Amino acid sequence: MNEVFEHRGLRAAIPMLLVGLLVLVAPGCQALNGGGAGPEDVPPPVRTAVAKHEKPSGRRPGVVNIDTEQGLNSTRAAGTGIVMDPAGLVLTNNHVIQGATTIKGTDTDNRRSYTAQIVGYDRQSDVAVIRLFGASGLKAAVFGDPSSTGVGDPVTAVGNAGGKGGTPTVVTGKVTSLDQTVTARDDSDGTSERLTGMIETSAPIRPGDSGGPLLNTRGRVIGINTAASASFTVGKSKPKGTHRGYAIPSDRALAIARQIARGQASATVHIGRTAMLGVKVRSSDTQGAQVVEVVPGTPADEAGVPVGATIISLGGAAVDSPTTLTGLMLAHHPGETVRLEWFTGQGARMAASLRLADGPPQ
């Protein structure tokens, strides 16, 4: 199992007022959301390959264009989803809906748009499930067995490239490697994650393709497009400029999605709405999470947590880093009361009990 570094930016991030494109990668790769970076930020070989291979999707049932608004950041983002059942359960990447305050899903078969709600998500595995309100009779995708996939097999990637909506775009390639590990970075917020067991392909996927299906020659979904890179050198076999796309094997993504649909929370799976504290934090010079911004009107603001404070405890559990704080928050839900402890910039130890608000997914 080789390790590569790719951006997972296959979500297209779109500033509220300035429409652009984002990319999918990991430290070397982008997440595939649409928006954020402009076309000049996509390496020319990728743009050329996409223009050459894109074509109408034909009958590719089960593909959903996802559009989100991130109210706290005043941005929009776009990605792709896969219909799991006719009643409107949709599988996608967690980074497609991360930070979303509103979500809209458009089924590309019936062309109808639906308001969507998050059922649950797994940040560690980058898998999420949303429900399209009022949906019925949708054409569900057909899933295949990724274990039967081999290096050299032809594959097709379908998605909402560029976050443009409408008919899904289709690009083709081959499986170039299996069981890959990527460290995926989302350029929209700088977050990163380590994903294992990925399918590597030469299909020129783009921002906006995140969460879309990777299909075998029978049209079965064998992977969920999640990350890509186009301009990195990894050994002699992969010269600079070689496009690499990465997909989560469909059996692994489906296992998590079905757990979410059953409402079974775990150490990594969060079910339902997300609790919000109302702070943005970074690593502290000492142990803890240092507050760099307090969102007005949130529980942290009302409790008097100042910028520059270092959070050291939440709900009686020690906080030694921003990652720990995020993990602890995911164990809670809106409306719960927790005790928060912090040091001020002057070293005074403070504490308050606060009621967690309803916030966007992490």
Residues noted as catalytic? 95, 126, 210
Strand partners, 34: 12, 78
DSSP conformational letter for 168: P
Instruction: Give the Cα separation of 286 and 289 in Å (integer).
Output: 9
Query: Identity (one letter) of the amino acid at 223?
Result: G
Phi, psi of 206 (to 5 degrees): -130, 170
Q: Are 158 and 63 in contact (CB under 8 A)?
A: yes
**Amino acid letter for position 280:** K
Q: Which residues contact 296 (CB under 8 A, 6 or more apart)?
A: none
Q: Phi then psi for 330, rounded to 5 degrees? A: -65, -15
Give CA angle at 95 (140, 312), nearest 5°: 140
Element (H, E) at 53: helix 44-53
